[in-house]
Structures are given as C-alpha cells and as structure tokens.
C-alpha cells in the first residue's frame, strides 16, 4: 500500500459519522484529517463535541481534531458524507464543485441520473457515469453514493438471483433497527413495547433505488431494471441490524437448490481485488430454522456480510427468505468505505 489518503468526515459526530471514525482509524488506505458537524459542535474539538456511542473508547487519534463547518476548503483529499438529507445536497455539491471527491451516504444525490448508486459487488460498471460528471465539477470533484440501509441488503441479495434467473417482482417487509434513525432517534416511550409501521421516505427509497442499482449501464445512462418492487417498513426495538422478509418472482425456472447455490456462491470484483473492507463472502446462507437474528448475525464478516435464512419456496410468488445486514456498517459507513476502496483500485481517486 503506497500511501494513505487524507479524508474528511461530514456529520462526523452522528451515528454513521462515529462508525466512519471507528472503521477508518486503523484503515491501511485512509487517515482522518478533518471532521465537520453542525454549529452546535463547531469550535470544539471532537473529544468535547462528540458523545461516543459505540463500544470501546473514542479513538485517541481523532480527539483533538477541531470540528469545522461542513464547507470547503477542508484539510483533506476526499470527503465521506453522513449529513442529514436536507442539508446534504447543497453541501456535497459545493465540495464536488471545489474539486473534492464526495463519497456520500446521504440520500440527496442517490437518484440523480449522473450519480452512481454503488454496491461494489453488484454494479461497479455504473462508475462509468463519472465520465458525465467531469463537465460539471472542477478538478478531481465527483459524487458517488451508497444505497439506503435497507435497500442495500435487498439489492445485494437480489443481485445473484437477477443475474441468474431474472427477478420480475419482489416484496420486502422490513424490521429496522433503532440506530437507523440516528441519535437520539425514536423516543423510548414510542418504541418500548411497540412496533412502528412507518419510517418517513423509506418505502419509496427501497422501491426506487433497487431498480437503479440492478439496472444496466448502457455507456451513457442507467436503464432501470424492469422489476416491480414493493416495500413496507417497520421500526422495531433492536439496537443495530436491519432485517427484511423478502419474496421474489423469477423470470426463469430455478429450483430451491439453484437459488441457494446462487446466493451462497456469490463473489464479485471486491473479493477478486481483495479490497480491505470486502468480506470473503458478501452473502452467507444459514440453514437453521431460526436464523438470521440481529443480535447473533449482524457482525458477520465484520458487519459487511449480509445473512440470508428461512429460504424456501413460496405459494404466492416463487421463493422467500429473510435477510439481515448491519445498518451502520454494510448499510452506511462500511458501504461508503468499500466504495472508496473500489474507486482507488479502479484509478478514480
């Protein structure tokens, strides 16, 4: 590994920002050189402004970094963004315009026609869209996004099935963890002894992002995958780890063994390239009756492997399964870092 890229984190004090810090602190290719957050935190150093909410201690290397405004210039070569959606659009565009590569975890640019919505194992060809951003942003500037934390596990599980058998339709019913709402998130009195059958904007994100991710890059734009996607989302009383009960209708005949083998054997470019954050297996299939479970399976592959279980034929559509992923790692910070590792490997950074 020749050198480390100096990175800034926008939204560094939040749930996802803290994951970025945790995952980047010993990373062989990146070092955190700048942190930014809201005006509540600006002017303090990271150790003062941030209440560390992950296990273990706040890494000593970031304690003394001053919290800055999320605006260029920042002392870094690229930025990871975990800003709230409503401010991300203007802020991320200003960094790209100032020549910074922006690796975003926010929803602001995900569906823009010239922005890759990237899962390195699934649609690395979509990085061809970056050519179109060259006329828009100066110097090295561009924007790459990762999907919503529930979309990513659905799209990753569907990818091998779509490639092998064609997915015509899918129905996903999610059970989403509390950390997905940021901090402080959902009020304890609303979620104790309860399930909330509504998460603002989530169903639309799953339904639209999935067809873009599984779409085909035709050398100028993405042709959306021609599949029906229906999602219903629920907030449940779990700390970390989103689950979804999924049903799929396939275009071509496949046996249950074909489907299992297609999921189990799935490997892709990040595994071939040996990217630092790439898990050995992006998808693990569990055969026990009672798996996956958030508490037991969210940390598979250091939080980067999704776990599929309860795989069976379905009497309404063709097959059904339950999928689980760590929402702040594979669903957020880990996804963005894997995107950046791929960008380096393919010469975009």
Ligand X SMILES: NC(=O)c1ccc[n+]([C@@H]2O[C@H](COP(=O)([O-])OP(=O)(O)OC[C@H]3O[C@@H](n4cnc5c(N)ncnc54)[C@H](OP(=O)(O)O)[C@@H]3O)[C@@H](O)[C@H]2O)c1
Please report, as ranges, the residues that interact with ligand X according to CB under 6 A: 11-17, 37-38, 40-41, 70, 82-85, 87, 105-107, 149, 179-180, 182-183, 327-328, 331-332
Nearer to ligand X, 157 or 178 (CB): 178
CB closest to ligand X, residue no: 14
Smallest gap from residue 226 Cβ to ligand X (A): 27
Which residues have a catalytic role annotated?
Answer: 149, 242
Smallest gap from residue 50 Cβ to ligand X (A): 7
Per DSSP, the three-state class of 89 is: helix
Smallest gap from residue 18 Cβ to ligand X (A): 8
Structure tokens at 101: 């590569």
Nearer to ligand X, 70 or 282 (CB): 70
Q: Are 69 and 50 in contact (CB under 8 A)?
A: no
Per DSSP, the three-state class of 45 is: strand
Q: Are 229 and 207 in contact (CB under 8 A)?
A: yes
Nearer to ligand X, 73 or 85 (CB): 85
Smallest gap from residue 179 Cβ to ligand X (A): 5
Nearer to ligand X, 11 or 292 (CB): 11
Q: What Å distances lie between residue 26 and 78, 113, 255, 323, CA to CA? A: 17, 35, 43, 29
Per DSSP, the three-state class of 312 is: strand
Nearer to ligand X, 85 or 139 (CB): 85
- Other CB atoms within 10 A of residue 114 CB: 18
Q: Are 166 and 252 in contact (CB under 8 A)?
A: yes
Strands of the sheet with 228-232, listed across from one edge: 228-232, 167-175, 242-250, 319-325, 306-313, 283-285
E-strand spans in 227-305?
Answer: 228-232, 242-250, 283-285
């Amino acid at each position: 590994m020749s050198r480390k890229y100096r990175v800034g984190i926008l939204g560094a004090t939040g749930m996802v920002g803290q994951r970025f810090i945790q995952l980047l602190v010993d990373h062989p290719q990146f070092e955190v050189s700048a942190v930014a957050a809201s005006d509540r935190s600006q002017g303090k150093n990271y150790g003062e402004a941030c209440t560390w909410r992950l296990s273990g201690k706040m890494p000593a290397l970031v304690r003394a970094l001053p919290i800055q405004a999320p605006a260029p210039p920042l002392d870094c070569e690229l930025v990871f963004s975990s800003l709230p959606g409503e401010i991300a659009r203007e802020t991320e565009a200003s960094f790209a315009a100032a020549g910074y590569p922006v690796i975003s975890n926010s929803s602001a640019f995900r569906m823009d026609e010239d922005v890759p919505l990237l899962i390195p194992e699934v649609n690395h060809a979509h990085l061809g869209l970056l050519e179109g951003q060259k006329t828009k942003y100066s110097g090295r500037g561009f924007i790459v996004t990762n999907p919503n934390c529930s979309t990513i596990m659905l799209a990753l599980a569907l990818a091998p099935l779509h490639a092998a058998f064609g997915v015509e339709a899918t129905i996903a019913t999610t059970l989403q963890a509390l950390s997905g709402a940021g901090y402080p998130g959902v009020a304890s009195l609303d979620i104790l002894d309860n399930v909330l059958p509504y998460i603002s904007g989530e169903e639309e994100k799953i339904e639209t992002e999935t067809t873009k991710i599984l779409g085909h890059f035709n050398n100028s734009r993405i042709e959306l995958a021609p599949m029906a996607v229906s999602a219903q989302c629920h907030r449940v009383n779990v700390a970390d780890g989103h689950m979804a009960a999924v049903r799929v209708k396939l275009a071509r005949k496949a046996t249950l063994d074909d489907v299992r083998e297609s999921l189990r054997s799935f490997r892709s470019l990040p595994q071939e390239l040996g990217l630092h954050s790439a898990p050995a297996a992006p998808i693990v299939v569990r055969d026990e009756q009672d798996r996956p479970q958030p508490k037991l399976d969210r940390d598979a592959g250091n939080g980067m492997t999704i776990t599929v279980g309860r795989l069976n034929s379905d009497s309404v559509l063709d097959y059904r399964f339950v999928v689980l992923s760590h929402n702040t790692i594979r669903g957020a910070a880990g996804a963005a870092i894997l995107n950046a590792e791929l960008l380096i490997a393919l010469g975009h950074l």
